[in-house]
């Protein structure tokens, strides 16, 4: 291994959040197409309640 000095690493927070938002959008759109708006509302409510459990 080379003996290079330890440097800073890249911050991947923004790409991770954008990828998560895009996946959420695609998932909810697919759910809407397959099952309709009530399923999207129920799924969104369940996801919101689950995320609120881990809110700081």
pTM of the model: 0.73
Count of residues for the chain? 56
* Overall domain count for the chain: 1
pLDDT the model gives residue 3: 83
Q: How is 20-55 classified by DSSP, letter by letter?
A: HHHHHHHHHHHHHHHH-HHHHHHHHHHHHHHHHHT-
CB under 8 Å to 43, separation ≥6 — which residues? 28, 31
What pLDDT was estimated at residue 46?
A: 96
Band (pLDDT 50/70/90 cuts) for residue 54 is confident
> What is the span of the domain harbouring residue 48?
13-53
What pLDDT score does 26 carry? Answer: 97
Kindly state whether residue 6 falls inside one of the protein's structural domains. no
Distance, CA of 19 to CA of 6 (rounded, Å): 29
pLDDT computed for residue 56 by the predictor: 66
Rounded Cα–Cα distance for residues 19 and 48 (Å): 18
Q: What is the pLDDT of residues 5-53, one digit of tens each?
A: 888 889 999 999 999 999 999 999 999 999 999 999 999 999 999 999 9
- Is residue 7 a part of any domain in this protein? no
């Amino acid at each position: 291994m080379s003996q290079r000095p330890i440097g800073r690493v890249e911050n991947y927070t923004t790409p991770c959040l954008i990828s998560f938002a895009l996946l959420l959008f695609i998932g909810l759109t697919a759910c809407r197409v397959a099952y309709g708006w009530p399923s999207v509302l129920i799924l969104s409510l369940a996801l919101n309640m689950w995320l609120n459990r881990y809110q700081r």
